[in-house]
Amino acid sequence: MLPTISSFALGILFGLGLSISEMTDPARVIGFLDIAGRWDPTLICVMGGALAVTLPLFPWIQKRQKSLLGEPLQLPSQTRIDARLIIGAAIFGIGWGLAGLCPGPALANLASASPGIALFVLAMIAGQWLAIRFGSR
């Protein structure tokens, strides 16, 4: 029960961060990616602000054996930079550039009740399902 409550609370904090930084607006994201147009540096500030917290604190937390709720820390174990990683990141980047939406802002935007956003999220879940179903190692 406790992990679910803290997860909910931190999801809210994350969603507030995405909204305040206006990363929920695809125009902000496409403005950042559009280096040949009117470049919008807002996303740099968001990444910078987030990394200013995570970069110094993650190594310190990673030394712990267990989380505050007593669960073992679950960190990614893969270290190899392979074709699957690069091809996947490239496909994601193309989709990101086409709509200006990545998974966090897309989900947060469900709050707008926009049918287009709901379509994007359904397609994203379908894409994940395809990758899990047919692309497993």
Q: Per-residue b/e over 104-120, b at no fewer than 16 CB within 10 Å? A: ebbbbbeeeeeeebeeb
Shortest distance in whole angstroms from residue 65 CB to another protein: 10
Site size for another protein (CB under 8 A): 119
Taking a C-beta distance cutoff of 8 angstroms, is the pair 117, 44 a contact? Answer: no
Taking a C-beta distance cutoff of 8 angstroms, is the pair 87, 98 a contact? Answer: no
State which of positions 42-81 bind another protein (CB under 8 A): 42-55, 57-59, 61-62, 64, 66-69, 71-76, 78-81
Residue matched to tokens 């086409």: 98
Shortest distance in whole angstroms from residue 75 CB to another protein: 7
State which of positions 9-38 bind another protein (CB under 8 A): 9-31, 33-38
State which of positions 97-126 bind another protein (CB under 8 A): 97-104, 106-112, 114-117, 119-126
Shortest distance in whole angstroms from residue 105 CB to another protein: 9
What stretch of H or E contains 6? helix 2-20
Shortest distance in whole angstroms from residue 83 CB to another protein: 10
